[in-house]
Amino acid sequence: MEMSMLSAVFGALSTELRLNLSANNLANVNTTGYKRDRVSFEDTFLRYAHDYHMDPRGNLREKELLPRADLVATPRLAEQQIDFSQGALQLTGNPLDVAIQGQGFFKVASGGTTYYTRNGAFHRDAQGMLVTDQNYPVIGNGGPVQIPDGRDISIDGAGSIYVDGAQVGQIDVVRVQNPESLQKYGANLYMAQSGATVREGAVADGETRVAQGYLEKPNVQVVEEMVNMIETQRTYEAYQKVMTNTNDLDTKSIRMGTEKS
């Protein structure tokens, strides 16, 4: 009974994590540039003691001395991933709102740390610096982007900033060649995982452009996440029943053994 109880416990813990991820995805359905989390599974093979012992005396007797190798496949959570697929663009009309169409990230900095984001809801601070909602400076050409006063601000598809027709800055848009090295920091920002190095590269011409006056909506599909939550909840209830039945069988076996003795 031990194997059924352990399998049910691990299954329940896995479904609990899936449920938490779906709930978090739904909670960010209105968060600009949010990328949903998802999990993947893999088969874990269980070996028994006799599987490691290969009997070299197979020709001495017709009857096998040891049981045949018996591998049992059990699905387990393999990893949690961020889905960086494109979200729909929403028109805002704000000249400092920008969205990325295609691959790439904006770069922002704070306290000497570089962060990456798809949230292009920027604004000018009191010093004329282009910043995020958290007042993190937006990086362009290796440093903060400064926007002088002017009547007309335009940003082209490459991220170049023009004020009254004159170019005054550039917003960096970089491609992360190893997105698996990124982790969510909070406030819709991403940073390098502990011990990992983010490999930056140039975005591909014609495949990535900056859209002024737009913001990228989250890539969360509400109906899909709701269905996932219902499915996960039903699976969790099934694992609970397995644990309850296993416990009842164990209790019954112990009681019967006690009565016989």
Residue 101 parent element (H or E): strand 98-101
Distance of CA 154 to the CA centre of its chain: 33
What is the pLDDT at residue 10?
79
Average pLDDT over residues 192-207: 89
Instruction: Please tell me which residue, 212 or 194, carries the higher pLDDT value.
Output: 212
Instruction: Please state, in angstroms and rounded to a whole number, the distance separating the CA atoms of residues 239 and 230.
Output: 14
Neighbours of 254 (CB within 10 A): 10
Distance of CA 168 to the CA centre of its chain: 36
Three-class DSSP category at 76:
strand
- Computed over every residue of the chain, the mean pLDDT equals 86
pLDDT digits over 106-133, tens only?
Answer: 999 998 899 999 999 999 999 999 999 9
Q: Are 250 and 8 in contact (CB under 8 A)?
A: no
Instruction: Please tell me which residue, 20 or 64, carries the higher pLDDT value.
Output: 20
Q: Are 167 and 160 in contact (CB under 8 A)?
A: yes
**All structural domains of the chain with their residue ranges:** 2-53+74-84+221-260, 89-216
pLDDT at 99 over 80: yes
What is the pLDDT at residue 41?
66
Instruction: Please state, in angstroms and rounded to a whole number, the distance separating the CA atoms of residues 244 and 250.
Output: 10
pTM as predicted: 0.78
